[in-house]
Structure formats: C-alpha cells, structure tokens
Chains A and B, each alone.
Chain A
Amino acid sequence: MSGEMMKVMHQAISDVMNKMFFLPVQVNAKEFSMREWFSTELRLFGATVSLTGGTLKGSSYLLIPAGVVKEMTANFLGVAEKEINVQQEGDTVKEALNMVTGNMLSQFDKKGLLRIGIPQLIGESDLSAGKLDQFNKGAIFIETEHSRMAAGIVMNSADKR
C-alpha cells in the first residue's frame, strides 16, 4: 500500500473508531503476515466490501478479534457487553468497514468514481489461521489499547483476471 493510501486509511480508521466506537487506535508501521499479527487471537470477525467503478475493481476488508468486536458493539449501541448478540457483533463489523471505506473514498475519490457494495461478513473458515495470509496484500496493522486489528484495500484493473 502506498504511503499516501496508508495515511488516508489510518485517518479514516482513527476517525471511525474514535467517533462511533470510542476506541483510540494507532497504526503499527512494521510489516507482518496476518497469521503473525493475529497469532494470539482465538477468534476473529471479518467483513469485506467490493469497490467498482470505471476501470477499477477491488475490495476493502476489516479483521477484528472477537473481544474487541464485543467492546465496540457495546460502545456503539450503548449497552452492556453481556446484552450483545452475535448478529449485532456482525453488524458492527460491517458498519465499521462501511464507514471506514466511505470515509477513505471521500478523501481520495472526490469525483465519486468508485461505488461501494454492500458489506458482507467473511466466513469463519476463511478466517482460520491457515487462511489468514490471503489478507496480507494491501494490509495495515492497527493497535488498540489492549488488542489489535487489521484493515486493507486491494484495487486492480477491472479487466485483470
């Protein structure tokens, strides 16, 4: 990911996590594989959303440990963690990705050429340790006070196979 793109993504993530989820975050600028980054996490939530427009096609994604998702959901909805269900947790991850992606695009796609799809949850099997490195490309690594998350964006020419 280019330095400029990383800066925009970092800004978008910070803005969304602070305003909507009351969660301060900072980027770890070192390079990791996703498997390394999440080596101590037992369970992850993930969401992805497509980006299309003109000659470009791609997607963005967000991966967050289950414990952080619970905290974010409680902060977002203003309820206790014990009252939260798994559907609300999934909703939180999708909405967070939607806001991060929209925020990012409003900064580097001012003409609105790219269209954001509907965010989808990534299946549990695609988040197993053996498959996590499929998300290495275009990733940035984010630290929260007590945990970590990752996000990324991958863009290609629409006619590229």
Chain B
Amino acid sequence: MAFNVLIVDDSSSMRAVIKKTIKVSGFNVGEYFEAGDGREALDILSNKWVDLVLSDINMPNMNGLELIAEMKKNELLSSIPVIMVTTEGSEKNIQESIRLGASKYIKKPFFPEDIKKAMHSLVGEEVCDVRGNDESDASGDF
C-alpha cells in the first residue's frame, strides 16, 4: 500500500536529495509533500494525509524539535512517525529528540542506505534492495 511522505528542510536542494533517495530506494510512496520549516509542515499536516515525516532540526521560524512537540500535542498527528535528518548530532539534541518522540535520527552527511534503513524499519515496505546490505553507522534507533 502506498504511503505519503512529508520532507521538512529549509534547503530545497536537501529536500530534493532526500526525495530522490527515497525514490531510488524503491518505497511505494503515494505523494511527496515538502515544507521549508516547522510551521509550513504543520499547515500541510493539518490539510493532507501524511504517513511519515522526515525533518531537519535547524530551520528558521519553527525548528524540527518544536515541530515534533506540536505534533505530539495534537492527537491526530501524534502517532505519525518522525525521522530526524539533521546535522545536529550532539547527544543533547539526540536525547531531546527522543524525549519529544522522534522515531529515528539520521545524521547528515548520510548515505542513501541510512534513509532506506530507517524508513524500512518504520513502514516495512520496499520493492527492491539497492545495495543488499543493511549495515549502517550513521542512523540510530531510539
């Protein structure tokens, strides 16, 4: 079954790279939505059906941690899994993400396999195995 993905990052290039990575990983995505910050993401989440969010942390207006906090306050959004895709790799930020309810984190720079592995563990669906290797050191479970 196809699922919808929301990519949140203030860099349009990074959004394009993440989208392309998901596409080549063979996931059955119905629609891709994109937002440049947490506020735009909340607007989309309130109007569209989204099954999975991939979000940066460091963004203007509303950052990724504030976005998760807002999602957790809303019972319609609180169960949507969120993968943090971020340069913010300090233990403090990772712990804060965990506390707020993020499902996974991926540290930039990442290999395409890191995105694939994190998504696979959350949505459990793919149609092909690009590298045939599930090992990765850049992504982590919470």
Contacts and interface: CB of A to CB of B under 8 A. Distances in A.
Nearest to A92: B13
Given A16-B109, A77-B16, A99-B108, A112 B90 contact: yes
A110 B13 CA distance: 28
A116 B11 CA distance: 15
B103 interface: no
Given A102-B86, A111-B91, A118 B109 contact: no
B52 to A, nearest CB: 22
Specify the main secondary structure of chain B where it touches its partner: loop
Nearest to B9: A95
Contacts, number: 77
A103 B89 contact: yes
A20 B107 CA distance: 12
B13 A116 contact: no
A66 to B, nearest CB: 16
Given A73-B13, A102-B87, 20 more contacts: A15-B109, A20-B17, A77-B17, A77-B20, A91-B13, A94-B11, A95-B13, A95-B14, A98-B11, A99-B87, A101-B87, A102-B88, A103-B107, A103-B109, A109-B90, A110-B90, A111-B90, A112-B88, A118-B10, A118-B58
